[in-house]
Amino acid sequence: MDTNRIVVVGGVAAGMSAASAAKRITPDTEVVALERGEFVSYASCGIPYYLSEVVKDHLNLVAVTAEEFREKRGIDLRTMHEVKSIDAEKKIVEVLDREADNTYELEWSKLVIATGARAFRPPIEGMDAPNVFMVHSLQDGLRVMGFIRDRNPQRAVILGAGYVGLELAETFRARGMVVSIVQRSDRIMRGLEPEVGEKVVEELDRQGVILQRNTAVKSFERNNGGEVKRVITDKGEIEVDIVVAAVGVKPNTELAQKAGIEIGKTGAIATNDRMQTCIPDIYSAGDCAEAWHRILERPEYAPLGTTANKQGRIAGTNAAGSDERFPGVIGSMVAKVFDLAVARTGLGLKEAIDSGFDAASNTITARSRAHYYPGAKPITISLILDSKTGRLLGAQLTGADGTAKRNDVLATAITSGMTIGEIEYLDLCYAPPYSPVYDPILVAARQARKKLHK
């Protein structure tokens, strides 16, 4: 194969990071990025804020426009071009130009698969109703906004109490809707520790959100126009004008699978730390690929924008001939739930125990600032530790003032392999407007040290 062409399949976070990195490393190499949709390089995490009109224009969610990629970065970006198949042996992709409705073949020397993920579709009859939505892509967000503007719904039901579900609850309440969240399990936001989770539940209640935990959706009742008017659960019926399913995502691996690329135990594409698949000239990154978990020391599925951008850069850099390594993730994330920030990093207690650690947890609540300084708010911190070695394994926090940045401190401590004793004596900055003399992190570490085996 004489072609010196890097082809990237997918044009959102991982895909355009890969294409940009490849072109930066080898400016003379032809880089082609193929995106099946209209939009590229957008922040799907910002969609709830577009729907609440905190962000006024959906185009503000686009980090780099298609024109900028083409004109300033020299990338041959083709939107509305869908890859239908990959021939790994011949090094050819079959591409459908969706606007022209014609198919063509494109040769490549290196390929990056960044096909992302799609929202998981619950197996409920009626999911095709015109007032039932899933919110994952920018196009999804535009459909929801169109419905809201046309129909002015007053009652919303959200299926799932994960990060997206709770962010959407705030969005719909800001628009004046009556909001119900139906959650199958007792836990919210992917296994928050009970003490932290209950703070979030209290905030939802304070904001007028109806949370139904341990509740299963049985069916939808539709009107003559086909719209869902009632959500039928095992605990009763909920009148509704709009339904949003936010129950997780599933990696788009079909293309890779048909091309003979190994799929990992998580269901995502298996890669090494160079983001190579089992076929050396094919790389993968983002929400379709696995990520190495630094604590568990095994591949995990971590569909987050931060991970996608980093993996994409590594994949593109290596496709261009370099030798960069992706060190892995520990699962750091944060969400805004009305007046609370809810953050976590590392392992939860159950996850740590199930993974073989002799784990323990401790939870404290402390003030975010000096007690005499105006605006001090409570911060609740749960620390999960190895009770034999004192190593910090995880942290979960909720509060209104400085919570996210404190989670970052604890993420850094976990990445560095620090123990509770070392964290207790971190030299953190102090000034009354920002922290008490003993920052809540230090208080949490001091109290957690009591959980160590003597």
Active site residues: 45
The answer to whether the CB of 250 falls within 8 A of the CB of 303 is no
CA 84 to chain centre: 26
What are the residues whose beta carbons fall under 8 Å from the beta carbon of 58, sequence distance 6 or more? 50, 138, 141, 142, 145
Residue with tokens 């993420």: 411
β-sheet bridge partners, residue 349: none
- Helix intervals (H) in 183-304: 194-206, 254-258
Can you tell me whether residue 132 is helix, strand or coil? strand
Kindly state the DSSP code that residue 82 receives in the 8-state scheme. E
In angstroms, rounded to a whole number, what is the distance separating the alpha carbons of residues 118 and 96? 20
First CA to last CA distance, the chain: 64
Is 358 in a helix, a strand, or coil? coil
Q: Which of 423, 428, 418 is nearest to 447 (CA)?
A: 423
Query: Which residue, among 199, 118, 121, has the nearest Cα to 159 in the 3D structure?
Result: 121
Angle between helices 163-174 and 194-206 (to 10 degrees): 20
Sign of CA dihedral 300, 301, 306, 307: positive
The whole-angstrom separation of Cα 129 and Cα 137 is 19
Count other C-beta atoms under 10 Å from residue 103's C-beta: 12
Q: What length is written for the chain?
A: 454
Output the furthest CA–CA distance in the chain (Å, rounded).
71
